[in-house]
Homo-oligomer: A and B are copies of this chain.
């Protein structure tokens, strides 16, 4: 039996990843760690999945408790998902964003180092680490130098640099990702695609005016379905090379206005788009598109889910939730 510890298990990615492991890997003991118990309204067979895990309620900033839990479990794998992952929120709370991301990672890495455990750790980073890039740099490969342009991105770069030190200086078995924008059912409406899909659901169910509020409509992101992300994290935990960083992305760009159009078409709902000044950011990346060649070459992974299918799942999630 192998043991796996998932931090931030109660979140969007945590829920989907746990369901994946419960479904696919009967030889794996799953421990989950989070500030709050999983609610997971987006997991169909939620009770079955909840029964399969041992849950530890803990603040990731509580280094003493983290150390006790990790010492007790001695996990073969740690998937470190716990984070403060909203870019817009990081502008209003830069300090909380930085501390919650970097210090949480440090507590985990230090615990594994001090206890000399033989644990494979996956540290999840972000495409935001690349910062403002030129069109000629696209698609972004992992060789591109990072240049963080918001507080969240700074925290992610710091975490990646720390992970490299723990891998190369202290010989911990750590891999890193630069994960591009995930989308899927269960994601908070703080994130753009979830917010837009929720607004379409509100129009349909509550007969709201057909107006969609967005921030910058022209920015382009490489959106990737949560199921593809989950398979990528599993592949890196199994086959990722120590100290290496992997893009987790779909390899294609979609503007925010594209997303609105696609949902308008999917739901047969003509809408008016309004720019909400409050959703604009002090600095924003015009375009981010990644290359997944490295992860494909290392682990045979590639994305599988087309954006239209993702949008349909997300819209259905919101319709069910709001009905």
Residue from A99, A106, A157, A158 having most chain B Cβ neighbours under 10 A: A158
A-B contact pairs, 18 of them (CB 8 A): A63-B95, A91-B169, A95-B106, A98-B102, A99-B103, A102-B158, A145-B145, A148-B161, A149-B165, A149-B168, A149-B169, A151-B165, A154-B161, A154-B165, A157-B157, A157-B161, A169-B282, A169-B283
Known: A94-B110, A106-B95, A145-B145. A150 touches B162 (CB 8 A): no
Q: Which residues of B contact A63 (CB under 8 A)?
A: 95
Is B98 within 8 A of A162, CB to CB? yes
Known: A99-B103, A102-B102, A282-B170. A165 touches B110 (CB 8 A): no
The 3 closest A-B pairs by CB, nearest first: A158-B158, A169-B282, A154-B161
Is A168 within 8 A of B94, CB to CB? no
CB-CB contacts below 8 Å: A135-170 with B? 145, 148-151, 154, 157-158, 161-162, 165-166, 168-170
Is A106 within 8 A of B110, CB to CB? no
CB-CB contacts below 8 Å: A75-124 with B? 91, 94-95, 98-99, 102-103, 106, 110
Q: Which residues of B contact A94 (CB under 8 A)?
A: 106, 110, 162, 165-166
State in angstroms the CA–CA spacing of A102 and B158 once bound together: 10
When each residue 241-274 of chain A gets 1 if its CB lies under 8 Å from chain B and 0 otherwise, what string results? Answer: 0000000000000000000000000000000000
Is B98 within 8 A of A106, CB to CB? yes
Q: Which residues on A are within 8 Å of B, measured CB to CB?
A: 63, 91, 94-95, 98-99, 102-103, 106, 110, 145, 148-151, 154, 157-158, 161-162, 165-166, 168-170, 282-283
Is B168 within 8 A of A283, CB to CB? yes
State in angstroms the CA–CA spacing of A145 and B168 once bound together: 19
State in angstroms the CA–CA spacing of A95 and B91 once bound together: 25
| Nearest B residue (CB) for A106 | B95
